[in-house]
Structure 1
Amino acid sequence: MLTAVGVVLATLLTLGSLTGCVVNTESTVPPGDRVRAERVDAIAEQLPPAIAESGRLRVGSNVPYAPNEFKADDGAIVGFAVELVEAVGDVLGVDAVFEEADFDRIIPAVQAGTLDLGSSSFTDTLEREQSVDFVTYFSAGIQWAQRVGEPIDPNDACGLRVAVQTTTIEDIEEVPAKSRACIDAGRPPIDKVKYDSQDEAANALILGRVDALSADSPVTAYVIERSEGRLEPAGEVFDAAPYGFVVAKGAPLGPVVQQAVQHLIDTGLYARIVDRWGLDEGSITTSQINAATS
């Protein structure tokens, strides 16, 4: 989730035609089985012994944040990043076991060793790199959404009500910075309206309770795609930054996961996963450890 302490959409979204609200439904999960990979011994043999012996990669994730992480109708955690981690597990010869957790508790759990990996649309930032390492796997920016025919300028939103998901970079940095600029210019601040999930934020916009929505670009694109023509982009994508899987600072697991992600990229399996979820625009060609520039 593009978050300076970062979170990106809610349980897959579609609009209820009778209520006009976003509804979670398994039907928005891409059809067919997930993309699978073969074990690569040269990479798997570098796994820390404790993980290799357990046969499990303990992964912390906060949902809902579709299309990256969310729950299907049967309660299983699914999504683009989930499928990518599962493919990483294939390469490493272990099962990725997802544990639902509050977003702000995932990094501390990785630091404490109760989780091996954090996968919750974390934005790789210089500030976070002081405490944990990131293995990059995607590039996301910030994208605003508006109701069709009701134009909003993200750079001139003083006095408007803007929905954000709590603890995202939009909540913590982006919208507050825009609001401060309004005040400094002698104009009314932005009324930031916080929601616990992205589907609630999307519903608020659709129902006219807010004027715009700000979220990570893949999340906003997913909301718009499933809005039955009621929502559209407001402005361009901006402030692109890498998403990264979180590992403990200096942990040997980091380079192993990076090699696994790069293997998926080099073999075309990464492209298949990205394409399956319709997120080609943010795909990368090189996975890095700690690629933040800000």
Structure 2
Amino acid sequence: MLLAVGGAGALLLSGCAQNTEEGASPATDETTAVEVTKVDEIAATLPEKNLSSGTLVVGVNVPYSPNEFKDSSGKIVGFDVDLMNAVAGVLGVTAQYEEADFDRIIPSIQGGTYDVGMSSFTDTREREQTVDFATYFNAGTQWAQQTGGSVDPTDACGLKVAVQTTTIQDQEEVPAKSEACVAAGKPAIQIEKYDSQDDAVNALVLGRVDAMSADSPVTAYAIKQTGDKLEAAGDVFDSAPYGYPVAKGSPLAATLQQAVQHLIDNGQYQTIAENWGVEAGVIEESQINGAVN
């Protein structure tokens, strides 16, 4: 599905979506509109293809609430969407969202199908070997359990733990913990993989797994949306930056970095984050390739 959201010139952005299917919504009923206008000197740094087309083709995987998901009309919304729309407003172009499997977004950027990825990508040194990133947020990993549980993320040997396929939690964090269990002569963690984060949350709510591991804003939002059914298990750990992946060596990385920094400096970035209740992860400086691991 191809969805065009945003536009050139002035944009009014706010987290005002209601997703009845997924139960997702902004963090509060009151949100603040953000008026974004084009900044000519930053827009002039866009690659010629984007200047000519007036668009940024953005690969996205949904749902991953509150960062990117669909409202009841099928429109892609969320914190990431509002921020990307604001970035597009600074650049005077339209953000054109195209859905894809998470693990196909970076290859599609390398192949030229997408200009940029926007799907809560953790900027890692491994990924920096194939794409460049412009960072825009800081997130850690947070586990969740059913309310009243006693799960310890540092000693989850033998437990069933839900993760979304191809995330950092699926590929690195939980497997490393499981290997440590085996090395200590304990049973491995049973890693239950789900194609969508919503499925992972539902599995935990229904008691099909003992715990869930996801990015900290995603886990916090899931806990909020499920009422009193879930709670945090342990503290947030392994904080790392989210970034927009672009083709290796592309000048678009610097363009996006400047646009994000502009929104940080004028306070609109903070407002967008507060609309979605993710202000704990705001950054003060956008970087190109800011991986910490």
Asked if TM exceeds 0.5, the reply is: yes
Name the counterpart of 1:24. 22
| 3-state SS, counterpart of residue 114 of structure 1 | coil
Which residue type is aligned with residue 192 of structure 2?
Answer: V
Could you tell me the TM-score, scaled by structure 2's length?
A: 0.90
Shift in CA distance, 168/27, structure 1 to aligned 2, threshold 3 Å = closer
Name the counterpart of 2:265. 266
Q: What is the CA deviation profile of residues 61-98 of structure 1, one whole-angstrom value per residue up to 9, with x for unaligned ones?
A: 00111111111111111110111110000000001111
The number of equivalent residue pairs is 276
State whether residues 134 and 290 of structure 1, in contact with CA within 8 Å, keep that contact through their aligned partners in structure 2: yes
Name the counterpart of 2:119. 120
Aligned ranges 1:11-90 → 2 under 5 Å:
23-25=21-23, 27-28=25-26, 35-90=34-89
Aligned ranges 1:254-293 → 2 under 5 Å:
254-293=253-292
Return the alpha-carbon distance in structure 2 between the equivalents of residues 215 and 110 of structure 1.
24
Extract unaligned runs of 5+ from structure 1.
Answer: 1-10, 15-22
| 3-state SS, counterpart of residue 219 of structure 2 | helix
Deviation at 1:33, TM superposition (A): 7.6
Which residue type is aligned with residue 80 of structure 2?
Answer: A
State whether residues 164 and 170 of structure 2, in contact with CA within 8 Å, keep that contact through their aligned partners in structure 1: yes
Aligned ranges 1:162-241 → 2 under 5 Å:
162-241=161-240
Deviation at 1:36, TM superposition (A): 3.3
Q: Give the alignment's Cα RMSD to 1 decimal.
A: 1.7
Return the alpha-carbon distance in structure 2 between the equivalents of residues 148 and 137 of structure 1.
32
Shift in CA distance, 50/174, structure 1 to aligned 2, threshold 3 Å = same
Return the alpha-carbon distance in structure 2 between the equivalents of residues 173 and 264 of structure 1.
32
Deviation at 1:50, TM superposition (A): 1.4
Deviation at 1:34, TM superposition (A): 5.5
State whether residues 18 and 72 of structure 2, in contact with CA within 8 Å, keep that contact through their aligned partners in structure 1: no
Deviation at 1:29, TM superposition (A): 7.6
Name the counterpart of 2:11. none
| 3-state SS, counterpart of residue 144 of structure 1 | strand
Return the alpha-carbon distance in structure 1 between the equivalents of residues 240 and 202 of structure 2.
27
| 3-state SS, counterpart of residue 204 of structure 2 | helix
Deviation at 1:35, TM superposition (A): 2.7
Deviation at 1:12, TM superposition (A): 7.9
Which residue type is aligned with residue 75 of structure 1?
Answer: G
Shift in CA distance, 27/156, structure 1 to aligned 2, threshold 3 Å = closer
Q: What is the CA deviation profile of residues 30-68 of structure 1, one whole-angstrom value per residue up to 9, with x for unaligned ones?
A: 656853311001111111121011111110000111111
State whether residues 26 and 66 of structure 2, in contact with CA within 8 Å, keep that contact through their aligned partners in structure 1: no
| 3-state SS, counterpart of residue 247 of structure 1 | strand
Give the 4+ runs in structure 1 shifted more than 3 A.
11-14, 25-34
State whether residues 59 and 100 of structure 2, in contact with CA within 8 Å, keep that contact through their aligned partners in structure 1: yes
Return the alpha-carbon distance in structure 1 between the equivalents of residues 223 and 198 of structure 2.
12
State whether residues 164 and 195 of structure 2, in contact with CA within 8 Å, keep that contact through their aligned partners in structure 1: yes
Which residue type is aligned with residue 124 of structure 1?
Answer: D
Shift in CA distance, 238/135, structure 1 to aligned 2, threshold 3 Å = same
Deviation at 1:195, TM superposition (A): 1.0
- Identity fraction in percent: 61
Extract unaligned runs of 5+ from structure 2.
Answer: 1-16
| 3-state SS, counterpart of residue 245 of structure 1 | strand
Shift in CA distance, 224/270, structure 1 to aligned 2, threshold 3 Å = same
Could you tell me the TM-score, scaled by structure 1's length?
A: 0.90
Name the counterpart of 1:3. none
